[in-house]
Amino acid sequence: MGSLAHTTLPHPFDPLSLEEIQTAVSAVRKAHGDVKFNVVSLHEPRKAEMTAWLEAPDRAPRPARVADIVVVAPGSKVYDGLVDIASAKIIKWEHVEGVQPIITMEELQLVEHEIRKDPRVIEQCVLSGVAESDMHKVYCDPWTIGYDERHGSLVRLQQALMYYRPNVDDCQYQYPLDFCPIWDADQQKVVDIDIPKIRRPLRLEPQINYTPAFVEEKYGGYRKDLKPINITQPEGVSFKLTGREIEWQSWKFHIGFNYREGIVMSNITYNDKGNVRPIFYRLSLAEMVVPYGNPEHPHQRKHAFDLGEYGAGYMTNSLSLGCDCKGSIHYLDAHFPTRAGSIKTVKNAICIHEEDDGILFKHSDFRDDSTIVTRARKLIIQQVFTAANYEYAVQWVFHQDGTIQPDIRLTGILQTYSIGKDEDTHGWGTEVYPGVNAHNHQHLFCLRIDPNVDGPKNTVFMVDAVPSDAPVGSPENYYGNAFYARRTKLATTGQAMTDYDGSTSRTWDICNTNKLNPYSKKPVSYKLVSRETPGLLPKENSLVWKRAGFARHTVHVTKYSDDQIFPAGRHVPQTSGEPSRGLPEWIGDGTESVDNEDVVLWHTFGVTHIPAPEDFPVMPAEPITLLLRPRNFFTSNPVMDVPPSFASTPSQVAAGGKGVLDATDRVSKLAFGEGEAGAVQGVNGTDGVNGKSCCS
Ligand code: ABN
Ligand code: CU
């Protein structure tokens, strides 16, 4: 049994505890000696046995705890394994050839120290204008090489994106160097250096930075006109956690976390007036790709798969109270293996909190001033991960009305390259500061939606708002004003490869066609509303197009399969894209039926980033958001039972305010005090009757 002395058993969806990671590591060590651990993570229960257990936890067998393992053994041999935790037995062990497992921060950190000692790197630094005695001021962001046809997949390689940083506190990305060493992680040495045809010597332009000292020196310090904003919940929070299962405002779900996807939410249900209805079996960000658009060699290699190559879990921040999250916060930690097999804990990896969310609904009657106004709040499950230069704040926002809103904020620092004086960017980038060329790029995320809309058998429809086909003057459309929502069933995986169309306000409905809404007679559904959906700009058959098959379309739909979690494949570094791994493999000839099946919808969304000086030296956060909304799911507005702040009926207004419901908070107050300049007189709370101008 190893060291598993649990008093309470973990939920089958819980991430592996540190004891469980230790059990798995010991079992592997015992059988296979000195290996390096790249992954020790929960192997999630198979859906069939998990749903049986969720339906009858007292009767159905509890799914076993199993660790998913990836190790690199001496001789750079990669093994995929499974360890049964209860018995500490290896139940699968497979040598996988021709793949490179996810890269860890430990592997990357080593590169910087080592390349500084390489004579050819020193030579290039000196050529660029760095004194040999200043090599300790040379840094690199080591990326996995992605794929380079000259080197293939068999040797584990990193590309070092080089920078000079004269003082430790300078901005890391201000002084790029123009060459790119290639590091062989197996031999532990620099094996090549990519040197551009046009050289760009180091340009030591005046420093730009975001540190308090720089702001003090350059701008005379911080702005002084900000008064504190505090969020208070005097009676505590309105959510409850049992283990990692959260209950909040009719929602109930499990919060998982893994090295790769980061936050994973499972078994998401909504209590519809006593009827607990399943909505999603599992939701996660499953992949992303950041292709850069400069055609000069070797920038084609700059297309990071931040989840598949580095891991949103492995790169996650330890969040801090009052900074990353404000108010009354609950945190969850994350445990990972180190490569040597010890444990690394990220404290406060996930934060959970509520926020006020403006008006939930309101109406006031223009005739008589009767009013109802109800405020909304939202529940936020958040992580922030740092992918070298960029930060991604990933919020899963739950709304009271059944909406789920994935919301990602991009911040951090642009990935930069050098540019010579008077050099033309050719439009492939922007000189965001003298000497700093920020190349155009895209951030394309892949949201994995495993729906369970009133049951596992679901069908996806594409919905377009279009005018009637009938011409003006025809009997069907005499005045020409007719329009409707055209629904196209995506019956096969091939038909389901679809793209966003803003001209028809395109959305996708995830329906349970076996259950109709009694009023609308339409299938109960969850609608994907997502408008930030740029197409993949690298061309068909380009390296990125081949490697990031998931990014070819806004929506793909596949039939559920337990092991289809990662849309660019299980081992992403150094895939050539020939064949394309993940989604294109699963879709195959596109003939598989996804009509009334257990399906998975893969949604690619994001932004195309043409940098600008405002993004430098640190980017103000750019939000990207989308919605999963109940449509024809409920029989009426599901939040009418949320207590209003103020409600008066016409008869109550006529009776001088008698019986009016006034639960307006007494903490809100006039900005400038009553009677002072700018104050609005007669708003709700001053006469207790007219709530019209309340709380907006
Ligand atoms: N954005 C690519 C990346 C992530 C982490 C570390 C290095 C590079
Ligand atoms: Cu960007």
Please, is 323 exposed, middle or buried when counting C-beta atoms within 10 Å of its C-beta (0-12, 13-18, 19+)? exposed
What pLDDT shows up at residue 128?
A: 97
Contact 548, 303 (CB under 8 A): yes
What pLDDT shows up at residue 211?
A: 98
Pairing of strands 646-648, 371-387: antiparallel
Contact 395, 351 (CB under 8 A): no
> What is the tens place of the pLDDT at every residue in 14-37?
999 999 999 999 999 999 999 999
What pLDDT shows up at residue 50?
A: 98
What pLDDT shows up at residue 522?
A: 98
* Rounded (10°) CA dihedral 243, 246, 252, 255: -80
User: Peptide bond preceding 471: is omega within 30 degrees of 0, i.e. cis?
Assistant: no
Span from the CA of 290 to the centroid of ligand 1 (angstroms):
10
Say if residue 684's pLDDT is above 70. no
Q: Rounded to whole angstroms, how far apart are CA atoms 297 and 299?
A: 5
Say if residue 680's pLDDT is above 50. no
Query: Burial code of 124-149, b = ≥16 C-beta within 10 A, e = fewer?
Result: bbeebebeeeebebbbbbbbbbbbbe
Residue 319's identity, in one-letter code, is: L
Q: Rounded to whole angstroms, how far apart are CA atoms 633 and 12?
A: 29
Span from the CA of 610 to the centroid of ligand 1 (angstroms):
19
**Could you say which DSSP state residue 292 is in?**
B
Q: Rounded to whole angstroms, how far apart are CA atoms 534 and 604?
A: 9
pTM of the model: 0.96
Contact 264, 11 (CB under 8 A): no
Say if residue 690's pLDDT is above 70. no
Task: Answer yes or no: 390 catalytic.
Answer: yes
Say if residue 695's pLDDT is above 50. no
Mutate to test the pocket of ligand 1, among 111, 173, 303, 310 (most ligand atoms within 8 A of CB): 310
Contact 667, 233 (CB under 8 A): no
Average model confidence (pLDDT) across the chain: 95
> What is the tens place of the pLDDT at every residue in 224-236?
999 999 999 999 9
Residue 415's identity, in one-letter code, is: Q
3-state class (DSSP) for residue 536: coil
Span from the CA of 142 to the centroid of ligand 1 (angstroms):
7
Atom 8 (ligand 1): residue with closest C-alpha? Answer: 143
Contact 382, 326 (CB under 8 A): no
pLDDT > 70 in the chain, percent: 96
Span from the CA of 508 to the centroid of ligand 2 (angstroms):
27
Confidence tier at 170 by pLDDT (50, 70, 90): very high
pLDDT > 90 in the chain, percent: 95
Q: Is the CB of 660 under 6 A from ligand 1?
A: no
Which residue among the candidates 390, 417, 433, 526 is catalytic per the annotation? 390
Q: What backbone phi and psi angles, to 5 degrees, belong to 364?
A: -130, 140
Q: Is the CB of 80 under 6 A from ligand 1?
A: no
Which residue among the candidates 80, 306, 454, 595 is catalytic per the annotation? 306
Say if residue 446's pLDDT is above 80. yes
Q: Rounded to whole angstroms, how far apart are CA atoms 493 and 299?
A: 34
Say if residue 694's pLDDT is above 60. no
Q: Is the CB of 141 under 6 A from ligand 1?
A: yes
Say if residue 51's pLDDT is above 60. yes
Q: Rounded to whole angstroms, how far apart are CA atoms 651 and 532?
A: 46
Q: Which tokens hold the place of 138?
A: 């040379």
> What is the tens place of the pLDDT at every residue in 198-256?
999 999 999 999 999 999 999 999 999 999 999 999 999 999 999 999 999 999 999 99
- Give the helix/strand (H/E) hosting 441: strand 441-451
Say if residue 678's pLDDT is above 80. no
* Rounded (10°) CA dihedral 49, 50, 54, 60: 30
* Mean pLDDT confidence for 121-133: 98
> What is the tens place of the pLDDT at every residue in 87-110?
999 999 999 999 999 999 999 999
What pLDDT shows up at residue 18?
A: 97
Q: Is the CB of 310 under 6 A from ligand 1?
A: yes
Look at phi and psi of residue 465 and say left if phi exceeds 0, alpha if psi is from -120 to 50, else beta. Answer: beta
Atom 6 (ligand 1): residue with closest C-alpha? Answer: 388
Q: Rounded to whole angstroms, how far apart are CA atoms 659 and 400?
A: 27
Span from the CA of 613 to the centroid of ligand 2 (angstroms):
13
E-strand stretches of 126-179: 138-144, 157-164
Residues constituting the chain: 696
CA distances from 539 to 101, 426, 442, 547, 548 (A): 27, 18, 13, 12, 12
Atom 4 (ligand 1): residue with closest C-alpha? Answer: 387
288, 578, 313: which is closest to 441 by C-alpha? Answer: 288
What pLDDT shows up at residue 474?
A: 98
Q: 């045809």: which residue's tokens?
A: 197
What pLDDT shows up at residue 675?
A: 58
Point out the ligand 1 atom lying closest to the alpha carbon of residue 105. Answer: 6
Span from the CA of 151 to the centroid of ligand 1 (angstroms):
20
Q: What is the CA radius of gyration of the chain?
A: 28
What pLDDT shows up at residue 145?
A: 97
462, 620, 613, 439: which is closest to 537 by C-alpha? Answer: 439
Q: Rounded to whole angstroms, how far apart are CA atoms 409 and 384?
A: 9
Of the listed ligands, the closest to the CA of 409 is 2
What's the number of CA atoms in the CB half-sphere (13 Å) around residue 508?
28
Q: Which tokens hold the place of 397?
A: 């926002």
Q: Is the CB of 280 under 6 A from ligand 1?
A: no
Task: Answer yes or no: 484 catalytic.
Answer: no
What pLDDT shows up at residue 7?
A: 55
Contact 616, 414 (CB under 8 A): yes
> What is the tens place of the pLDDT at every residue in 386-411?
999 999 999 999 999 999 999 999 99
Q: 């103020």: which residue's tokens?
A: 646
Residue 413's identity, in one-letter code, is: I
Contact 416, 141 (CB under 8 A): no
Say if residue 2's pLDDT is above 50. no
* Mean pLDDT confidence for 642-669: 97
667, 679, 598, 626: which is closest to 46 by C-alpha? Answer: 598
What pLDDT shows up at residue 677?
A: 47
Q: Rounded to whole angstroms, how far apart are CA atoms 554 and 532?
A: 10
Side by side, the strands of the sheet bearing 66-73 are 36-42, 66-73, 77-84, 89-96
